[in-house]
Amino acid sequence: MQDRPTAEELLQVAQNFCERDLLPSLSGRVRFHARVLQNILGILQREWTGEEDAVRAEWNRLRTLLDKHSDAPPTYGAVRDEVVAWNKELGSRIRAGGQDDRWDETVAAVYETILEKLAIANPRHSEAASSDT
């Protein structure tokens, strides 16, 4: 791991370069692709700073919904893998009617996860969705 510049700082520099230097000098299709690149860099930066907290929060919601009684795995990668597995389990339970008695709680938990994912993918959509509730 490098001390400086951090990955977050590098992503910010790349975004600033796109905004200040690259985009003004481009037009048409190439400008569009540079804007796409800038959006990708923004997603990467938000993932870098917020994804682990969001995945750990999702793990806690799924743990409650699925009545799991385990402690969080020791590594983020293992937490992420468990979230993937538990989401599959939740989907199976929903399809089988196994969450019907906890429907409101299930919808609220899934909605919170969606808001967290939107905050990383596109914060404007997350803000709009939050204000709709």
What's residue 129's pLDDT? Answer: 67
What's residue 66's pLDDT? Answer: 97
What's residue 80's pLDDT? Answer: 97
Residue 6 pLDDT > 70, yes or no? yes
Q: What percent of the chain has pLDDT over 70?
A: 92
Single-letter code of the amino acid located at 53: D
Q: pLDDT digits over 40-99, tens only?
A: 999 999 999 899 999 999 999 999 999 999 999 999 999 999 999 999 999 999 999 999
Which residue would you say has higher pLDDT here, 57 or 125?
A: 57
Kindly state the average pLDDT of the residues 106-129. 88
Residue 81, classed as helix, strand or coil, is: helix
What's residue 96's pLDDT? Answer: 98
pTM for the predicted model, two decimal places: 0.79
The alpha-helical segments, DSSP class H, found in the chain are: 7-17, 28-65, 76-96, 103-121, 123-131
> Is residue 18 within 8 Å of 37, Cβ to Cβ?
yes
Single-letter code of the amino acid located at 84: V
> Is residue 57 within 8 Å of 117, Cβ to Cβ?
no
> Is residue 14 within 8 Å of 41, Cβ to Cβ?
yes
What's residue 126's pLDDT? Answer: 65
What's residue 130's pLDDT? Answer: 67
By CB atoms closer than 10 A (0-12, 13-18, 19+), residue 33 is exposed
What's residue 20's pLDDT? Answer: 93
